[in-house]
Structure 1
Amino acid sequence: MKIKEIVVVEGKDDTVAIKRAIDADTIETNGSAISEETIERIRLAQKIRGVIVFTDPDYPGEKIRKIIAESVPGCKHAFVKKTDARHQSGKGIGVEHASPEAIRTALKDAYVMKEEINELITKEDLLTAGLIGGKNAKQRRERLGNLLKIGYTNGKQLHKRLMAFQISKEAFASAWKQVIQEEQDG
């Protein structure tokens, strides 16, 4: 299977993992200090073929994602779950550790961040749902991010990400209900 868009990853190991999973071209950022030259290559790729940003589910990966989103609007964003991106030894998290199936799923479910943002879900909704503060908030956010395919965020970033991807109240409510049901069953 070949994808049209160019996938932006952090490094060579990520490129190898992507190519193991799918026929795709990549651009490597070589870390979070993205050069202006790399940003220009991403802009050109976005104009010609489209771009999917696929960075590690950690702080540096989120930093890279933010820089690209601000510099090159309209890119799609793919997220891999932390559990799917963990090295077998338990040390290290990255796209390069994800299985081909997890990579294919993440790329298939890529979202486009919206520039004009409507507040569909409020911060009060997040507080009421127990996603900000409270005993199980971190685990709930992680599970919610996986269900909505928007990745894990801290409490402050969750609202921004839900707005950026224009997650509907219905999709949010459905995922939240599943999170709560899993807690009760667990």
Structure 2
Amino acid sequence: MSTCTSPSDNGSTLDEQDRKLVLATQAGLPLVSDPWGALGQQLGMDHEDVLSRFQRMQETGAIRRVAAVPDHYKLGYRFNGMTVWDVRDDAIAEMGQRVGELPFVSHCYRRPRHLPYWNYNLFAMVHGTSRDEVEAKAGQIRKLLGATSAGDTILYSSAILKKTGLRLRKEKATS
């Protein structure tokens, strides 16, 4: 299960070159064999400087990660189910970790219950090429959780929402 942290002042301030790199990659990395070199060429920096700046920004927490984000719809995974589970509080840390490690769970996290209306405290997103596939994957989670879970349901996506992270605005020129 992932955790959310908020780094204090740990040197994660962006300088002008870092900011240019973030702005240049907000829509994604260039789809070429050497994206770091292509960014460097675009911004007048060398490959090694671009790569070391990204590594430093990741180490300081200015950026969390650089990763490929596949379009699961284009890959045929058109059925998305957020499985929600009512897991015993004394078991949620261990079971959340185990569910999050399943190869078909794209993200898994703990959320507070809102009793008496909402008793689910563990959320795990699964994708499938059919509703039956999502149900089968939920069945595997159900088996894994066993007696630690008092109930579950699946919330299916009804719309595709564009997911993006924080976007920096380009500085406006002052006159």
TM-score range, shorter chain: 0.3 to 0.5
- Higher RCO, 1 vs 2 (CA within 8 Å, ≥6 residues apart): 2
- The structure that is strand-richer by fraction is 2
Q: TM-score, normalised by structure 2?
A: 0.33
Q: Which has the larger radius of gyration?
A: 2
- The structure that is helix-richer by fraction is 1
